[in-house]
Structure formats: structure tokens, C-alpha cells
Amino acid sequence: MSAPDEEETKTHELLIDQESRETREHKLLEHSDLPDEADQHQRRRDKAAYLADKLAERERIEREAKEK
């Protein structure tokens, strides 16, 4: 199993990645010409936002566990 600091780092890197995906999909959504394409970018943006929220929660829990 990974050390606690490694887990925190991995979680943080995943969080940054999801936030980046959310931003990218938002930009693509703004420039979508076709409704189907816009829907796809909307779904991807929503999924990235959901995962970013879950990773932020995980990061908070890991930080709290480390403080105990």
C-alpha cells in the first residue's frame, strides 16, 4: 500500500486533472456548433465536475486522517 503522502499527492494530481478536463470541456461546449456535440461536451463537463468534487472530498478526508 502507498504511503499517506503518496496517496495525498495522487489524489491532488487526479483532482487537478479533472478540473482541467472540466475547463476544457466547458470551452469545447461554448464552441460547439451541433446540438449533439454540445450535449456530449456538457455530459463530459458534468462528469469531470462530479469527479473533481469527489476527489476534493477524498483529499479533505485524507488530510483530516493525517491530522489525527
- Note whether 60 and 5 are within 8 A (CB): no
pLDDT score, position 6: 85
pLDDT score, position 8: 83
Spans of the chain, pLDDT less than 70: 1-4
pLDDT score, position 47: 98
pLDDT score, position 31: 97
Q: What are 38-51's pLDDT values in tens digits?
A: 999 999 999 999 99
How many CB atoms are closer than 10 A to CB 22?
A: 19
- Note whether 11 and 58 are within 8 A (CB): yes
